[in-house]
Amino acid sequence: MSANILDGTAAAAAIKSELTQRVAALRERGIVPGLATVLVGEDPGSQWYVAGKHRDCAEVGIASIKRELPETVTQQELEAVLDELNADPECTGYIVQLPLPKHIDTDRILERIDPGKDADGLHPTNLGRLVLNANTEITSPLPCTPRGVIELVERNGLSWAGQHVVVVGRGVTVGRPIGPLLTRREYNATVTLTHTGTKDLAAELRRADVIVAAAGVEGIVAAEHVKPGAIVLDVGVSRKTDPETGKSRVVGDVDPGVAKVAGWVSPNPGGVGPMTRALLLQNVVEMAERA
């Protein structure tokens, strides 16, 4: 038996279709949502990633705003660009593409973003609101990748309620914010946060109904670590170089053998990645609707 596939590409396409209708309704009211990206330097991976976001915007009718800056940009010059976007009424939300050059204070830059325009949902103010609010509706942007994980599972007819979720990885993008999201009463899951320093990680994983692997360590979740029938989401990304060709490829945190034990598995790529991009768009549309 092989696990069922949590197809992020199909789920993301459904979300984009829904957002297209919502954007059209906003346009009828004279509101055009706009997503801005701030890209520093010429890293090919970052350029590819940002270009994909603008293609997504065109697909659903969101306006695109690009700010491309040289690698040599100063802290003050970059902050001035953010101040401009904070004040621009045509910019509903924006992201600063990471990583930034070493001479830039990244924390200072991220905190410079207007929390109301934080398309990634990772501004300290918005994360704080998430932590403080377990019961009532949240009206601030939420972290895109954790939202993508949650929606991918729900759109396959599965419930989070009462599930024991073990998260592997303590990064700010997934590991740290997903617990406050999943333990909200609307989802009602129980969450254990683990990482590469966890004592007997394998034992923790074997107790999980759902595993969210986001450590960026190839194969950290193996078949013998998974309870039969569990839901396993492969979110981690790292690169592996072929010693013969010198070419590198993206690999996930979940060993392929897990598919023979788990009930549901998200592929990597093709799982949570497309969902993250779709939920970024949803954040922008929701911000426009609230405004």
Catalytic: 105?
no
Copy the structure tokens of residue 83.
């101040």
Catalytic: 76?
no
Count of C-beta atoms within a 10 Å radius of residue 25 = 12
CA 82 – CA 141 distance, rounded (Å): 18
DSSP-derived pairing of the beta strands 238-241 and 248-251: antiparallel
Q: Is 22 labelled as part of a ligand binding site?
A: no
Q: Give φ, ψ of 48 to 5 degrees.
A: -65, -45
Instruction: Give the side-chain half-sphere CA count within 13 A for 279.
Output: 21
Which residues have CB under 8 Å from 90's CB, separation 6+?
32, 34, 63, 65
Q: Which of 56, 117, 118, 120 is catalytic?
A: 120
Q: Is 162 labelled as part of a ligand binding site?
A: no
Copy the structure tokens of residue 14.
């459904």
CB 289 within 8 A of CB 26: yes
Burial of 200 (0-12, 13-18, 19+ CB in 10 A): exposed
Q: Which of 16, 56, 97, 118 is catalytic?
A: 97
CB 38 within 8 A of CB 81: yes
Q: Give φ, ψ of 189 to 5 degrees.
A: -90, 165
Q: Is 52 labelled as part of a ligand binding site?
A: no
Which of 149, 84, 139 lies closest to 287, judged by CA? 139
CA 119 – CA 142 distance, rounded (Å): 8
Q: Is 237 labelled as part of a ligand binding site?
A: yes
Residue whose pair of structure tokens reads 């979110």 in the numeric block: 235
CA 32 – CA 88 distance, rounded (Å): 13
Residues pairing with 93 in the sheet: 35
Catalytic: 117?
no
Binding residue positions: 169-171, 237
Binding residue positions for NADP(+): 169-171, 237
The residues assigned a catalytic role are 53, 97, 120
